Structure 1
């Protein structure tokens, strides 16, 4: 798989029906390795290993209803009170992060109301904080750590 601008992590793979699968520690099963899945798995391990997020508070590929359509969020992290905290949209490395991608995560976050959003293609990463009172979005240099500190996100704005 392609080298990304995210920390390397230990992972398990296997072939199923001649196709590569990777073990997803959140879903506790092997999933097909697509370019987007490769990015998602890197982000999951980044959140767990570098930023201190508990595995039990991260949901992968969760469903949501948007304008009568069923959609799926790539990753949604909850706070200890069960409220959405961080929404992540992963794209394949060859997909350029454009305004359309930000519009997509914005629509998803209109439903979830998470204070933090991340968009990444594994090479370029953007994190922003949403202030719903002031109706503003501020781009950050780093992801929020689960404990409130910062660690340093490679390839940020």
Structure 2
């Protein structure tokens, strides 16, 4: 797999019927290693090991309904009170991050109301803080570290 713009992390892999899987510590199972999954697993470890977010507050690939359509978010980090702190949208490295990507995560956030948004293709990362009063997002250099 392609080297990404994240710190070096250790992963568990297994091979079965010519398919490589990577262990997802949140879902507690091996998942097929696709380019987007490679980005998602790096992002997960970045959130936990670098930013200090507890595993117990992280959720992966759950369904949500937007305008009667079923969608799936990549990563959500909850606050201890159950509100949503962060939504992360992961794309494969070859996918260019553009306005459409931000529109997608903004649409998810109309339902989830997260304080922070992160969009990454593993090479480029974009971080935003929501300004609900002015109905916009403000770009940041990074997302904040976890504080309880």
Question: Which bin holds the TM-score, normalised by the shorter protein?
Answer: over 0.9
Partner of 2:12: 12
TM alignment of 1:130-145, pairs within 5 A: 130-145=130-145
Measure the CA separation in 1 of the matches of 2:59 and 2:81.
15
Report the RMSD for the aligned CA atoms in angstroms: 0.9
| 1:105-143 CA-partner distances (Å, limit 9, x unpaired) | 010111100010000000000000001122221000011
| 1:42-69 CA-partner distances (Å, limit 9, x unpaired) | 0000000000000010000011001111
Partner of 2:111: 111
Partner of 1:155: none
- Show structure 2 runs of 5+ residues with no match: none
Measure the CA separation in 1 of the matches of 2:123 and 2:53.
21
TM alignment of 1:1-157, pairs within 5 A: 1-147=1-147
Q: TM-score, normalised by structure 2?
A: 0.98
Task: Name which of structure 1's ranges 23-32 and 132-141 shifts more when overlaid on structure 2.
Answer: 132-141
Measure the CA separation in 2 of the matches of 1:39 and 1:3.
10
Measure the CA separation in 2 of the matches of 1:41 and 1:121.
12
Q: Secondary structure at the match of 1:111?
A: helix
**Runs of at least 4 residues off by over 2 Å:** none
- Show structure 1 runs of 5+ residues with no match: 149-157
Task: Name which of structure 1's ranges 129-138 and 52-61 shifts more when overlaid on structure 2.
Answer: 129-138
